[in-house]
Chains A and B, each alone.
Chain A
Amino acid sequence: MTVEVHDGEVDIVIAALQPNLTPFFEAWRPFFSRFHVIVVKDPELAAELQIPSGFDVKVYTKSDIQGLLGATSIDFSGHSCRYFGYLVSRKKYVISIDDNCLPAKDPAGVTVDAVTQHMINLKTPATPFFFNTLYDPYRKGADFVRGYPFSLREGVECMLSCGLWLHNADYDPMTHVVKRNQRNTNYVDAVMTVPLGAMLPVSGINVAFNREVLGAVMFPGLRIRKQGNHRWDTLEDIWNGLCAKVVCDSLGYGMKTGLPYVMRSDAEAGKALESLKDWEGVKLMDDVLPFFQSVKLSRNGVTVDGCVKELAGIVREKLAPKNPVFAKAADAMEEWTKLWKSHGAQSA
């Protein structure tokens, strides 16, 4: 399948958690330069951003966030600031990569164009109803295998593309500490659809999605009490991904995981030990996952927005009694649907 990517249909959204973005932008220049780039500066970052010239870039800062949204219960600090970028984007697709990730090289030494790969993932069908053992059947050189029902070969539209990371993998702080020298060097040359009903931990480090359809569920809902700027101090993307998967499953959309890889730097690796004492995530996921595995949205939901509202209600009813962070998550989800309606639900 040939896939065309038009300049005007993609926004690149980057959360700036560090001031000097020059190495980042220079490395991504071949792949970013034809697109509009939205940079959202972490409201808690004081220093001025350094961004090289030659990009169509718009920077949003704390005052822009406050100016546009006014008083909102959603906390856009740290990694959550990128979601503001999703609100203000006017494009059909968004690609978002952490600012400590550079383009990776594949086993042949070729630099990976993560942007194009994400777009291929989003513009070719997903196949959630039956697992294809040769992975993505639409890829060149592959197809559906024997035993794959023909009625399922059209697939469904893919709404979320979850990429991976070489070098510094996205581990929780315990694993970072115990395996401090482990680096991910395994380039797995596959994209696959996450099956219907299967849940997965979506890492926000390297994602892309159809903003027009899925935007209403792409929110920073779950905030752990000691949320920090290291990825291992957050679960907001994991929560976001689980909500998105439930909604996609309910509405007949697909999600893919696998390629593209980005190269994630070591910058954070050494500090995981500090997070261990207070890391709430250990216990939270033991409640979160069973909830998402068993949640069933009603057949009435036909829009993402409707599904989110329903899901927020169920979160409030079933999870909130276990931990106040879940009540806050439900609040944030409901707040997001309002913000999305006022500011996000528009296209170019």
Chain B
Amino acid sequence: MAAPLTLLLLVAVTVRAALFRSSLSELISERVEVVSPLTAWKRVIEGLALLDLGVSPYSGDVFHETPLTIYLFHFLVDYAEVTFMVSVKKNVFRKQKFALEADRYPLDCLELIRSPKEMYYIPLKVAMFYLLNPFTILSCVAKSTCGLNNAIIALFILSTIKGNVLLSAIFLSLATYQSIYPLTLCAPALLYLMQRQYIPVNFRRASFWWFIVQYAFMYLGSLFVIICLSFFLLGSWDYLPSVYGFILSVPDLTPNIGLFWYFFAEMFEHFRLFFLCVFQINVFFYTIPLSIKLKEHPVFLIFMQLAVISIFKSYPTVGDISLYMAFLPVWSHLHRFLRNIFLVSCVLLACSALFPVLWHLWIYAGSANSNFYYAITLLFNVAQILLVSDYFYAFLRREHHLTYGLYLKRKDGSEATLVLK
């Protein structure tokens, strides 16, 4: 296990180092699919330069990172490349450990049970999926701070899986502090930790509420500490509207792979606030229904939440996508129930190839217009939604088979087909 993993790490680091040194790194760090106004490295450098000039980085509208990030990079700016590669490695280790824990004890369908041998290779597959994913490589070479956010989320997942409540709360508050959306990961974390501690998820039980209060206290406490620390670092509350106000109110309409930019570029002013609220609520809205449906399977819930956040957040980048895609090998046993996987993967590949082409045609050649790029973002997001819902379908179907048996018969004895009704 250690040998293939080390080999994999070496390959990944070599690829990234090679790209760092080549002329492509400049090109990649300018691409709008890879960096967003929230995560661009150029803006981090700009924020540091403003700090050197004596102007608050938040007085303008260029810099939208949190104060802790500024101070982190203040010290690490010369070693930026190393930092990003380390965060990637950390990410991988966390995932690897997590996958080992995601075991299931099925009832009677031997075919559906995953053999320990299969399970043994899952961490390596997860590591491979994450490290060698071109999206991750691009994100790392562009020095997008998305990599750091992913590392924090991975640490959070690791600490949750390990059962460490305090660390889980701390990492979750850090992740929320960086961008607001990981707040929805509270629910799966709670469910998993309660499952581990054998607390039944029942609204009438006092232990349930007591645990929630404990976790909330730790989470809010660490969040409060981090926010106050940021205040003292820069001496003002300027960063709150600049970071969180920016994420929530989407003033910057720079094109990216998400749905927000063109929608709000073409929005009638009268309805802007309404649709802004609708879109932001859309990200948080699936938490409760998904938690209710998947309360027995919090790990899958984490995957679903991450996917929903990556698709519907205000400034998505390919780094966010690579995070939830890294989880896909964990559900490799669902392959037999996936319906659209071929179509989805073809569409994703085609769209990834078309993004730079249509961007060039719009911005540089001037022969296409923004609609072309917009169409590809629509298609890309539809493909992602199909992918996620396909995995969800496959998961639910496997659960159904685990309960009722794999080969189902109709009343007259012939082979049955399952539908959702």
A, B assembled together: no
